[in-house]
Structure 1
Amino acid sequence: MVSCHENEPNTEKDAKSEANFGKWNTTNSNFNSTNMTRFAYGIAANVLSVLLYGSNLVPVKKIETGDGMFFQWVNCASIWVVSMIGNLVLNSPTFYPLAMLGGFLWTTGNLAVVPIVKAVGLAVGVLIWGSASLMMGWASSRFGWFGITPHEVARPILNYCGVGMCLLSGLIFFFVKTDAKMRPNPESIPLLIDRRTHSGSIGPSSTVFWIDKIAPRPRQILGCLLAVFAGLLFGSSYVPILYIKTHSSCRDSVFHGASDYDLDYVFAECCGIFVTSTVYFAIYSTAMNNKPRVYSRVILPGLMTGVMWTLSTYSWFLACNYLSAVITFPIVTAGYGLVAGLWGSLVFQEIKGKTNFFIFLLGSCVVLIGSLLTAISKF
């Protein structure tokens, strides 16, 4: 636990509150709003974040992405552009390079998204990595891991029960059998293939991804393990920002005087995302002898996915100001998993059969109850 908050002079606290006034920052006591109003704003921001996070992969669900490296780079470039606009709207707050570490963690986890979706489908993949992300994000903020201040709630029992039910929903969704196969499309050909020398061999067989060569059962297990790995990294991506905010009141810290407003750190994190994705893509292109698999049809959907992800991140960080990470993490991670599950089951028909639908419905009810318990634990 960090105790430097207790030693901060009142004059410095007042100065920080005044600096953040007018930026929707509800963490200071001078904000002219009731607790219920802040709660309503926080829930509204959470709902928007859940809908966008749960839907951001929909534009590329039926688009051939190959190994996903080019798609990720396009996606991350879009994220960086949108965050740059947001940074200008926020009058270019102080840039802290440590926040870029969160972008590195997120991008590293995001490398596994395409293999996960191909192995276990959009619905189960998002639900599993959402559960892992929930556990990491909630535990680090609740118990003060990695040198950040523990977040307290008014009703800890409700908070624990809510998180437990959200995790239970992830286990329930694990037993949902999905059909994640995508029909090969002869028109889905890498843009950089030399058609004159490959005119007789171009087709679905030339674009087979490595995970598609694995037998169904091992592929499903590998997809689930990758989803857990990605979720742990996703759940850790917010920790650097919490660390900066925790040490903003420490006189001997390089982060002394840092902003308490979460949105001020989005641009730095997105810079980390774009830089990391560019490095990964350069390494990938080198390993491919400068012949990366570039699918032209993924460009616009990838840009759209990046826009949706960035807007959902801004909404979530705004919700963290009205509530706290220990409240928003379970709601957002469990909620967007449910939204993705609905897309996968109702639109893409990944979930078939009465038994699977019953299991999915049971998990949906559990996650909704868990999110509700987590939300009301604030008061």
Structure 2
Amino acid sequence: MNLLLTTLNTTTISPSHDTDSPLWIGYLSVVIAVLFFGSNLVPAGKYPIGDGLSFQFFMCCGIWIVGLIINLFVQSPQFFPLVLIGGVLWTTGNILSILVIRMNGLGMSMLLWCTTNMLVGWASGHFGWFGLLPENVEKPILNYIGVTIACVSGIAFLAIRTVQQEEIAENPDEQQPILQSSSVENTPNDTVLTANTVSTSKPLSMCIIGCILAAIAGVLFGFVFTPSTYIQDHPNKYPAASKNGLHYVFAMYSGIFFSSMFYYVVYIALKRNRPYIHIQSILPGIVSGIMWGIAQAGFLVANSILSQAISFPLVTIGPGTIAIVWSIFYFKEISGRRNYLIIIIGTFLRIISAILIVLSKPIPR
């Protein structure tokens, strides 16, 4: 991470993305982002988080800490308030993602919102939505095929059935929160995000609701970079804007922190000053936020060097696969020959997708 920060901080960056830094740094940034995005919720995975609002606030505190450190490292560049919007979008999507995980499990949820995130982020950068300058590649047909295969792999993963879904189907009246172990009792405050909340209807209905919310979260995640990219693409409006993506980290993370604080204050008011706070989940929440902050910084570096047309598909399809590995070997959410076969097929498709996207190659503007 220090190597990436040093390289990007000392490199002169071109008007679109960094053409002076070697491509391997961009791809290394992709690997870092994938590993940390796919693992950032693992530290909190076995601790009770209640309705999730307190947890996400502590997570956003961890994110802001990373942003502050990076901002000091890059010597506090100009702060653009427009970038705060990206942070607000992410916080809103993050609150939805907590609900989705409790419905469909970590692996399934991340695969869903990563696929939607990929499509929105890739399309906005490639086609130039919302005033962005279109980003092209040397071999667009390979890029299109790679993105299409990535989407197909996401659809394939939808057929996975988690242990929690099977337990809900068999015991609709005896359900534990998905991120809690069966030995932890529910308190009266555990009312918003427990599986019981949605299990009054059929399990299929719960799964559908979870899928819809995951897609909405993915759309919000996909537009997180739009404000900072817009500023970089319009030097006539923002003559002091830097082309180094790390220079926008603090503004984005501040948007995350302050919007999270706003949601949390509203939540406390609605709970009549009796929020659910589980002491065991405070430190894991902060650690999760730190891991996410590192991943997002890697994402920004990848965008600077490779362009969104390349980095977005690669970064967004990878974490779901990492989450699946955690779901199998750590959370024990996924088991069975059928599920394993689906995972093998889906992973194979994603490897092909990644290869095609890399081979499409970014075009410096």
TM-score, normalising length: structure 1: 0.85
The answer to whether 1:282 aligns with 2:269 is no
Amino acid across the alignment from 1:51: L
The partner residue of 1:146 within 121, 130, 135 is 130
The DSSP-based 3-state class of the residue aligned with 2:22 is helix
Amino acid across the alignment from 1:136: V
Query: Once the 2 structures are TM-superposed, how far is the Cα of residue 162 of structure 1 from its aligned partner?
Result: 0.7
Aligned to 1:46: 30
Paired residues of 1:185 and 1:204 also in contact (CA < 8 A): no
Greater alpha carbon shift after TM alignment, 68-77 vs 318-327: 318-327
The answer to whether 1:372 aligns with 2:360 is no
Aligned to 2:286: 303
Query: Once the 2 structures are TM-superposed, how far is the Cα of residue 157 of structure 1 from its aligned partner?
Result: 0.3
Matches within 5 A, 1:191-210: 203-204=185-186, 206-210=188-192
Matches within 5 A, 1:333-372: 333-372=316-355
Aligned to 2:172: none
Q: Deviations over 1:302-340 (max 9, x none)?
A: 111011111111111111122111100000000111111
CA distance in 2, matches of 1:102, 1:217: 33
Amino acid across the alignment from 2:181: R
C-alpha distance 310-32 of structure 1, shift in aligned 2 (>3 A): closer
Query: Once the 2 structures are TM-superposed, how far is the Cα of residue 261 of structure 1 from its aligned partner?
Result: 0.8
Structure 2 residue runs of 5 or longer lacking an equivalent are: 1-6, 165-177
The answer to whether 1:220 aligns with 2:220 is no
Q: Deviations over 1:31-68 (max 9, x none)?
A: 895xxx72211111110110011000001111111110
CA distance in 1, matches of 2:8, 2:154: 39
Cα RMSD after superposing both structures: 1.9
Aligned to 1:242: 229
Aligned to 1:101: 85
TM-score, normalising length: structure 2: 0.88
The partner residue of 1:68 within 52, 75, 82 is 52
C-alpha distance 85-375 of structure 1, shift in aligned 2 (>3 A): same
Amino acid across the alignment from 2:315: V
Q: Deviations over 1:83-138 (max 9, x none)?
A: 11110110000000000000000000000122111111110100000000000000
Paired residues of 2:13 and 2:243 also in contact (CA < 8 A): no
CA distance in 1, matches of 2:258, 2:36: 24
- Structure label with greater radius of gyration: 1
Amino acid across the alignment from 1:230: A
Matches within 5 A, 1:158-173: 158-173=142-157
Amino acid across the alignment from 2:248: Y
Paired residues of 1:38 and 1:323 also in contact (CA < 8 A): no
Query: Once the 2 structures are TM-superposed, how far is the Cα of residue 217 of structure 1 from its aligned partner?
Result: 2.1
Structure 1 residue runs of 4 or more that deviate by more than 3 Å after TM superposition: 24-29, 180-186, 207-211
Aligned to 1:232: 219
Structure 1 residue runs of 5 or longer lacking an equivalent are: 1-19, 187-202
Aligned to 1:117: 101
Number of aligned residue pairs: give it: 336
